[in-house]
Structure 1
Amino acid sequence: MHFNSAERFRGVDLSRVADRARRTLGDDVMILHTRTVRDGGVPMVEVLAAPSTAIDRVRARLEPAPFPVNMRKADGRPYCIALVGPTGAGKTTTAAKLAVRRGMFGAARPGLLTIDTYRVGGMEQLATYADLADVPFEVVYDAREVDAAMKRLSGTCDVIIIDTPGRSPASAELTERWRSLLDALAPDEVHLVIPASLRADLAVDIGRAYRATRNHCGATHLILSKVDEVPRESGISDLALSLEMPTRWVTDGQDVPSDLKPGVSRLLRAWGLSADAEPDWMPA
């Protein structure tokens, strides 16, 4: 599914090209990308432009609702953000980025909780980051431990980041167990973490697998991970739009916590570039 309403314009200098775009698309036109090309040996400026109304439509599809002013509920319960997704998508590293980045949630203090007890390395990774950043950390193995873990975190935390196991179609029983455990935690947001390099049809299939069911809560938001692995970031906006979920963040590297960016601004910057875009387009 493609959402591109951008058009190309070419001329000898940027001001003339911008004027042509404005006459064609309206006074509210926005220049998305520019590049220099040669036409019959003559250097030309080419731009990719779209009406601001089209940009607004894309933004509306991607923009999440703002966080509540007070991250704690009336009963004192912290705001809970869970990360779900396939194995290798980068959930654990993303959870660490969210929890240890100073000021990520304003003055609200974050905590970490994992229900990924099937992968020892993941627990150790989160425990290390939590220790280095002085972030409270809990491991929950079954539903009987949820209340006690939440009570301990509620004493010091206003928002809790929840890491979950990767979903494997070959382990339906394990999937049922951790999804039931996640339901017991009752997250306020469930972010589906999808690698930006994934084929769109596979991403849509994964999105369906994480939908809410009669028995389980489902994904409410999207995080595109590993954006740095997509050449020129082309096609990533279409991928996000095809999943039809608001996108708070994208990740673009392994560095914790720096390689985490606001999702909408990054996706709008890449919007208009198709998956087979030429390599020399530059964001305007």
Structure 2
Amino acid sequence: MKMRWRRRALAAVVLLTAACGGLFVAGTAQAQKVSTGSLSFSGDQGDYITQGDSYAYSTGGGDALNVSSATGSTVSVSVTGYNGDWWTLTFDAPGTQVLAARTYSAAHRHPFNGTGPGLDLSGEGRGCNELTGSFTISKAVFGSGGYVQAFDATFEQHCEGGAAAARGKIHIANPAPPRDSGAGHPATTSPRTATTRPRAATAKPHAAATGQPHATASSRPSAAPTSGAGAADAGSGTVTATDTSVARALLRDGAVVRRLLIVLGIVALVGLVALLLVGIGVVRHVRGR
């Protein structure tokens, strides 16, 4: 009896530890600070994610953007607003394809999109359980090793199959990969005319929102995007590939910090479950005597 409970406790610890490690690895891959970029989006009345409001963030306005992509198949952008807002936007190509300049329809919530395209806009404590949507990429330039040099896209998503939608656009422009980073020459996808294009949102400064629980007072309104999908590719900043710069980028990435907190919570839960199972085994062993 005692040996059987020990085995069950060990199995539970192994499973929870594996899940914890998976979250950590997924959350820390290839994060880099965006040199020049913007994200703007708005939603219909009744849309859960936007609450019917409009938002606009840009590096020129003091907002922090970080982007990550392991192979170009998935691009994830995290935004930490000057006023404390935080959002995460993810695009995923079907299967192992590399994201290219075209329209992806019938998208579902990433990472539960299977072999089809994936999409997810979430933040401020709100996210879709299930979503449908589409996105159009007008520019995608990647270097090897997950370096994102340029990425421009528009998107539209519907939570829980509802009619209300959130719509927006993302613009990212980074310098060419540093020669000593091992990133090599970027591979550029050729843009082409999209067959369908989601309606772009007309963004207004999110600091002007009233009555919304997520609208945080700020000493300045967040600036509207400085450029759209057809803007200049390269910004004035630089991105280095040193260990220090990567560490700083990870610390500034709100999504990574949140995943680390989740990891710590799971580790604590593993300990509690193990202690509980061992305690139950001891009680049963004593009673069996």
Q: TM-score, normalised by structure 1?
A: 0.25
The structure whose residues are more often helix, as a share, is: 1
The structure whose residues are more often strand, as a share, is: 2
Relative contact order (alpha carbons < 8 A, sep ≥ 6): 1 or 2 greater?
2
Q: TM-score, normalised by structure 2?
A: 0.24
